[in-house]
A and B are shown apart, each in its own frame.
Chain A
């Protein structure tokens, strides 16, 4: 167990290093220059050179990388060119919204996807299954902004039950502010819950043809217990890995939803930073997302160990 964790940590570091090189290289390949964004069209060549030197952008790219990586190792991701503030602060501000949004979304995804997928599988071939699968197909296909706009139209504009935009921090306004994230999380959950629903259904149908399910039926236990104790647990092995990458993807996929609901999250921050050529912020966010992916993959692998006794961690 511990030697496995160590090996995984080693592999993670190598992946992280490779990712940092790629991130750095690609960002500097984007045409455009942060100096022009900061100073505007009217800057003199003299001003431009001075600012470029102050920001360290006149050094060779290898030197820039080594400086950035060295600082990153110490937890310093540099200064945002646009905000004139530490990148870690800028990211932390956006991360609160994004993490809460992703977590709430995952709660919906699990609460909607798994039970309804189970029902569809148990009643497979009936009109109920076809109806549920049809609805799932619909939500997997429509764009999130469409779902978001309709939710705003119904629950914010018409019924007036929920706020339509923005998110004041729960650290300032208390947990009641979570209601600001209700519609965005449902919006983001729609396609992902649909995916998990279909995956749960397919996986359960696969498992229900297994010999050991027949053994369970032969024991004379009730059909629902066969589903719960024998089919669901084995079917979830497949679904759990999907939970992992869904959660990680939510962090970066939330751009459209954050834009529709005017949320101060990571997704919107990264898009704005790209437009501003704010290299340190872009690098920082991508690095954080890479770390998150690696971390979630590790959690998923460890979770397998608890769900499936055949998995040996070596």
Chain B
């Protein structure tokens, strides 16, 4: 449904661009959930905004690569241009439900606005559709909540409203950028359940962005691990958790609390994520990698195919049969 090839997003001048996303490629099939995981600043949000056509202007821009949505090239198109051109439908929900809704307009108006664009309905019909959408995201008293304002709702309810707005676009692909990070754990589980359910029922593909390996394990079908603006490992979720091949992925797993029950302190990956543009040669992870050799610092690592849909960007991947 969604195919991204060699996506490069840069900031700075054209003469001396700094890549914050470099050469990112992935595919999402129909009804599939791809988890994009990585620490803050690794470029995952920029990737999602670029795919959505929502990069802030002025600011980062797409310097290379291609984004295909249901077969149509949408690389340089903003959402309204995609609607006009009648290309595939994509929608997005964001990290901050508290600030992502317009404070001075009613919930119903904000949903109906999207209904009007995508279904061509108007007036009462758009309003009725908005109520159906609220019921779909399991908001109680849907008819009543249509005339509520965002500040009258809780964070969890607002995120459900955001999902309703996204569904109003009848998306074939939904991008969810850390949609549960700002919510309580119990609400988080409800929202994840809702997304999983909608994905099954509407046969919708989801690009799910998070820094939480636990959420990935629960929700995703396949995982892409991002580091320093690059995808360093891709695999289906069972393979990735069972046999991680990239040292960074391995490091992330080792940091998970469930794997360190009873430990006084959680392990960490030594060092800090590189600032964009600071590592120009070799592997971006080399300065923090336990297995790094001299060649890692000078030569770009190969993208190794390690099995069915399993790739790692590493010259010296971990052994498959020997988990440490």
A-to-B contact residues, CB < 8 Å: 125, 209-212, 214-223, 229-230, 233-234, 237, 307-310
Contact = CB atoms under 8 A, between A and B. Distances in A.
Given A219-B79, A233-B104, 16 more contacts: A212-B101, A212-B103, A214-B94, A215-B94, A217-B54, A217-B80, A219-B165, A220-B79, A220-B117, A221-B114, A222-B80, A223-B80, A229-B113, A230-B102, A234-B103, A309-B149
Nearest to B162: A215
Q: Interface residue tally of chain B, by bracket?
A: 20 to 34
B200 interface: no
B149 A220 contact: no
Interface in B143-160: 149, 151
B117 A219 contact: yes
State the majority secondary structure of interface residues on A: helix
Interface in B36-71: 52, 54, 56, 58
Nearest to B152: A309
Contact of B99 (A211, A216, A221): A211
Interface in B166-202: 166, 168-169
Contacts of B92: 218
Contact of B104 (A125, A216, A234): A234
A309 B102 CA distance: 11
A214 B57 CA distance: 11
A309 B79 contact: no
Contacts of B58: 125
B171 to A, nearest CB: 10
Best-buried of A217, A219, A307 by chain B (most CB within 10 Å): A219
Most buried by A among B101, B113, B166: B113
Contacts of A309: 103-104, 149, 151
Contact of B103 (A209, A221, A222, A308): A308
Contacts of B78: 217, 223
B100 A308 contact: no
Given A233-B104, A310-B151, A211 B96 contact: yes
B206 interface: no
A157 B117 CA distance: 55
A233 B106 CA distance: 13
B250 interface: no
Contacts of B162: 215
Nearest to B98: A211
B222 interface: no
Given A220-B82, A221-B80, A229 B105 contact: yes
B102 A234 contact: yes
Contacts of A210: 99
A229 B54 CA distance: 18
A309 B99 CA distance: 15
A234 B104 CA distance: 7
30 contacts: A209-B56, A211-B99, A212-B103, A214-B56, A214-B94, A214-B100, A215-B100, A216-B102, A216-B113, A217-B54, A217-B78, A218-B54, A218-B92, A218-B166, A219-B79, A219-B113, A220-B83, A220-B114, A221-B117, A222-B80, A223-B78, A229-B105, A229-B113, A230-B105, A233-B104, A234-B102, A234-B103, A308-B103, A309-B149, A310-B104
A277 B103 CA distance: 53
A216 B169 CA distance: 12
B79 A212 contact: no
A70 to B, nearest CB: 46
A223 B57 CA distance: 13
A94 B108 CA distance: 50
User: Which residue of B82, B105, B165 has the most chain A CB atoms within 10 A of its CB atom?
Assistant: B105
What 6 A-B pairs come out closest when comparing CB atoms? A220-B83, A220-B79, A219-B114, A211-B99, A309-B149, A212-B102
Given A125-B58, A219-B165, A308 B80 contact: no
Contact of B149 (A215, A222, A229, A310): A310
Residue among B80, B162, B165 with most chain A CB within 10 A: B80
B91 interface: yes
B113 A308 contact: no
A206 B169 CA distance: 27
Interface string B135-149: 000000000000001
A311 to B, nearest CB: 10
Contacts of B79: 217-220
A212 B113 contact: no
B118 interface: yes
* Most chain B beta carbons < 10 A, residue from A215, A216, A221: A215
Contacts of A222: 80
Given A125-B58, A221-B80, A310 B105 contact: no
B100 A219 contact: no
Interface string B253-278: 00000000000000000000000000
A173 B149 CA distance: 51
Contacts of A229: 105, 113
A308 B118 CA distance: 28
Contacts of A212: 99-103
